[in-house]
Amino acid sequence: MGKIAFVFSGQGAQYPGMGQSLCDVSAAAKAVFGLADAARPGTSAQCFSGTAQELAITQNTQPCVYAVDLAAAKALEEAGVRPDFVAGFSLGEVAALAFAGAFTPEDGFAFVCKRAEAMQRAAEENPGAMAAVLKLGNEQVEALCAPFDRVWPVNYNCPGQLVVAGEPAQLREFQAKVKEAGGRAAPLAVSGGFHSPLMASAAEKLAGDLLRIGLGQPCFPVYANATAQPYGGDMRALLVRQVQSPVRWQETVEALAAQGVDTFYECGPGKTLCGLIKKTCKTAAVYPVQDAETLGAALGG
């Protein structure tokens, strides 16, 4: 029998009403939202009743998605499903670390709130934008980025899909070059140039914040966005690096498959990661877990 990985959704997957039905069917999920409300009053109300516009603000998005990510994983665990490995996409990496016990759930939530504030401030200080480049290979996209000093490849999502971040004017020029090369660049609805050098001030702020937050050894391997390898050594340095470094998601999925993982549960809102995993590893079984219906389907109910 193959191995199991839990993968945790990132920013951009949020939607109004997320997580509410999980609380109706899982005491463990409900407890996560109770913890979230104790740490940041109103978090569950934002998830369950907030507008799309309200949830799109980074300071709201990150703690809300973290809560749903962790609630979905706890619901699976409550039902007897446990992973051999975990990983998370961008923000989801913090939920993965908390689920694996590297953070306490409370400390993970505190860090997510600080991360959201720092990244939103960095985005205001250094405005950026992002676009997904389709139909071109990674090396082609990297070559197109090279002439620009404020455009960088940041999310290596799956074969044929690489997200680029940059200063808005340069990114528009870059998108024209993509079209000339036969590719397609789709702008993303985000508030900054995440996972790029535009986040340097956020990384600096978080380095100080992490010195005041406890970190322990995870109880199962947590694959890092920045390296596509399990966390080890200086975990704080890797978490700081993650904010301004590319997300190597395709490599992470390939590394997990090489370890014998053939079943992935996406914990959190949406099913974006399921789609990326299937494009990277066509034989994998993927199950989104974001509400009562998908939890039941994942459990075979």
How many C-beta atoms lie closer than 10 Å to residue 41's C-beta? 9
* Catalytic residue of the set 90, 191, 196, 245: 90
Confirm if 272 and 12 have CB atoms less than 8 A apart: yes
Q: Which of 9, 44, 191, 195 is catalytic?
A: 195
231 vs 253: CA distance, rounded Å: 15
Residue 108, sorted as left (phi over 0), alpha (psi -120 to 50) or beta, turns out to be alpha
d(CA 85, CA 220): 6
Rounded CA-CA distance 294/55 in Å is 22
For residue 18, give Cα distances in angstroms to 35, 45, 106, 188, 238: 17, 10, 20, 21, 29
User: How many CA atoms does the CB half-sphere of 90 hold within 13 Å?
Assistant: 28
Query: Is 195 considered catalytic here?
Result: yes
b/e burial code for range 42-71 (CB count within 10 A of at least 16 → b): ebbebbbebeeeebbebbbbbbbbbbbbbb
Q: Is 90 a catalytic residue?
A: yes
**Which residues are catalytic, by number?**
90, 195
